[in-house]
Every structure is written in structure tokens, then in C-alpha cells.
Amino acid sequence: MHPRPSRTHGASRPRPAGHGLLMAASVLVLALLAGACGARDDRAGAQPEANEPAKLTVAGDSIALGLGVTLRDLTDAAEGLDGDPSTSAVETKVIAQDGTGLARPDVFDWPERLEQLAAEFPPEVLVFSVGSNDTQDLTDPDGGVVATLGDPEAWDTEYSARLAEVFDHFADTDTTVVWLGHIRPEADAVADGNRHIHELASQVASERPWVEVGDLAVLTGSGAVETSGCLAPDGLHLRTDCYVEASEQLLDSVRTALADS
């Protein structure tokens, strides 16, 4: 089985100056301002009608699920622009799935699911976050091993191709894709794996102007080197207050963009 090929859209769209890894929440805000307001190139779709809320979709694993549910609670409770519920700035949809990632498409195929989303209901903003389930051999949709952890070069090549496939599904829409890296959990193998995946995602995103890079370690202020102070008792997921902190920063950036557009 050959690695999944990535489509090369970046060559036809020169990368804007200053685009890259977002190392602070304020930079992520500025990046979302450009994307969510529609100040993009000639890509089509994902433009809300007047007085309709912008669509924010959260996809990924159980960590993304916790973030998405928190974002949805915040947007559901919002009164909308100028206090008018009919003009609620953001509507959040959560399609995250517990126990998933990009390693095992025989369990859940995120590239296939997001291809469907891009074709049928592209949102203004897609937040995608996986990694903590992916420190394992990579399989194809039938369960056959494509790349083993014992072959780091092949593993990185295949995983990067899967990231590219996810991102490239939105190349011809007006969706801003926001990749979010995970915080460092207690288990060193998982921590080293998800931080390495964040590095791979940052590299893949650097060639794609419609993809922004964020980091839950930055949004929560928990850091990416030591075990995160935001960890829940299970040593993997985030505490509720840290989900709220990260969600409020993301949501504020999108609302500001829409209010100023």
C-alpha cells in the first residue's frame, strides 16, 4: 500500500508574508480575522448570508470533543450581535469522535469524513485537533499496516500525507482550517508523539495559506515542555477550566472578526 498522496494546491496560491506557526493567542486572533471575514483569495463557499451565524465546526479526537462541547455551550448561550439572538455571531457544530485520529482509518477515516464536510457543508472555520491516539503503526482503511513506528521516516511521510489530505479538502472552499496541537500529557510516549505530530502539522500548514496553526499548550498557558498543569485526573484530557479558557480565546477571535466585517 502506497502512502496517501497529497494534492499540491499551495503552488498556485503564493503564501502570504507572515503566515506561519502561531506562537501566541493574539497572533491566532489576527489569523482568524483574515480568514473568517472572507478577506481571502478567489476561493468560494463558506460565506454566511446576512444575519445568519457563521459556522464553526470542531473535528478530531476526545480532546477536540471536549473543546467543541465547551465552544458549543458558549455560542449557544450567546445573545448574538448587539444582543439580537437572530444574529448570533457563531454557531458551533461538533463532529469530533472519541478514540480517533489519523493513524487508524479502519477505525475512523477523518480524511473521508472531512472531504464530505468540505463538499456539502463547508464552515467558515474548521478546528481540527488530533494526535494523542496516534503514537502507533499507521494502517490503511482495511487495517493493513502502511508504516510502522519503527521506521520514523516512513511514518512521518505517511502521517504528513494524511494531514495534507485533510487540509487540502478545504483548499477550494472559503474555510479557514485551524490546526490545534495538544498539550503535553503525563505519559511520555504520548506526549512526545503528539508534540511531534504538532511539528509535522506546522510544516504541512506552512505550504497552505488557508491553514492556521494554533496550540492548546499556548491557548491554555500550560506550556509544551513540562507536563501540563491543565491536565484532568486521567493525565490526558484537559480540566474544564482549561477547556473554557482555550474556547473563550478562540471564540473571541471569531466574534471580533465577524463584528468588524
Q: At what angle do helices 240-260 and 62-76 cross, to 10 degrees?
A: 60
Distance (Å, whole) CA 193 – CA 184:
9
Amino acid, res. 54: A
Amino acid, res. 15: R
Q: Who's near 208: CB < 8 A, 6+ residues apart?
A: 9, 10, 164, 167, 168, 171, 177
Strand partners, 70: none
* Domain assignment present for 134: yes
Identify the CATH number of the domain in which residue 246 sits.
3.40.50.1110
* Domain assignment present for 30: yes
List, in sequence order, every beta strand (DSSP E) within 35-175.
Answer: 54-60, 90-94, 125-129, 138-139, 145-147
Q: What does the pLDDT profile of the chain (261 residues) look like in tens digits?
A: 333 333 333 333 333 333 333 334 444 544 454 444 444 445 555 556 656 788 999 999 999 999 999 999 998 887 654 555 554 678 999 999 999 999 999 999 999 999 999 999 999 999 999 999 999 999 999 999 999 999 999 999 999 999 999 999 999 999 999 999 999 999 999 999 999 999 999 999 999 999 999 999 999 988 778 877 899 999 999 999 999 999 998 888 777 655 655
Q: Count of domains in the chain? A: 1
Distance (Å, whole) CA 261 – CA 210:
18
* Domain assignment present for 12: no
Radius of gyration (C-alpha) of the chain in whole angstroms: 17
Distance (Å, whole) CA 138 – CA 144:
8
Average per-residue pLDDT for the chain: 82
Q: At what angle do helices 152-168 and 110-120 cross, to 10 degrees?
A: 20
To which H or E segment does residue 215 belong?
A: strand 211-215
Which pLDDT belongs to residue 122? Answer: 97
Strand partners, 125: 56, 176
Give the residue numbers spanning the domain of 140. 20-40+49-260
Q: What is the pLDDT of residues 51-96, one digit of tens each?
A: 678 899 999 999 999 999 999 999 888 765 455 555 467 899 999 9
Distance (Å, whole) CA 258 – CA 82:
12
* Domain assignment present for 193: yes
* Domain assignment present for 35: yes
Residue 250: other Cβ atoms inside 10 A: 27
* Domain assignment present for 15: no
pTM of the model: 0.82
At residue 19's C-alpha, the angle toward residues 211 and 173, to 5°, is 30
* Domain assignment present for 8: no
* Domain assignment present for 6: no
Q: What is the pLDDT of residues 187-215, one digit of tens each?
A: 999 999 999 999 999 999 999 999 999 99
